[in-house]
Amino acid sequence: MGSSFLSSSGFHPVCTTEFVEFARHSDDFKKRDVQLIGLSVDSVPAHIAWIRNINQHFGVDVDFPVIADLDTKVAQKYGLIHPGASETATVRAVFVIDPKANIEL
C-alpha cells in the first residue's frame, strides 16, 4: 500500500463535511494507492450512527475504516487532544503518512 491519510474526526459538522468529501473521492485515492483511515475518540456505535447519517443526508458510503480511539492513545500520540481544554476534545487534523510510516504532511 502507498501513502495513508489519517483524519481525526467526530460527529460534528466540519468532520462530517470532511468525511463526505473523502468518501466521494475514495476511488481517486485508491487509484493513487492511498489508504484513507478515520480516527475518532467516539465509540463504534457512534461511528455507525454517524456513517448512516452521512449516507442518509449526503448519499455517500464511507468505505474506509474509522478507528474508535476510546482511550485516546492514538490521538495523544498524534497531538490531537486540546491541551488543558478536555481529555477528549480533539483537534481536527489530516495527516499524510508515507509507505515508510513517516508523516509527510
Asked about 81 being catalytic, the answer comes back as: no
Catalytic residue among 6, 15, 54, 66: 15
C-alpha separations of 35 from 5, 7, 50, 86 in Å: 6, 11, 20, 30
Other CB atoms within 10 Å distance of the CB of residue 82:
11
Q: Which residues are catalytic?
A: 15
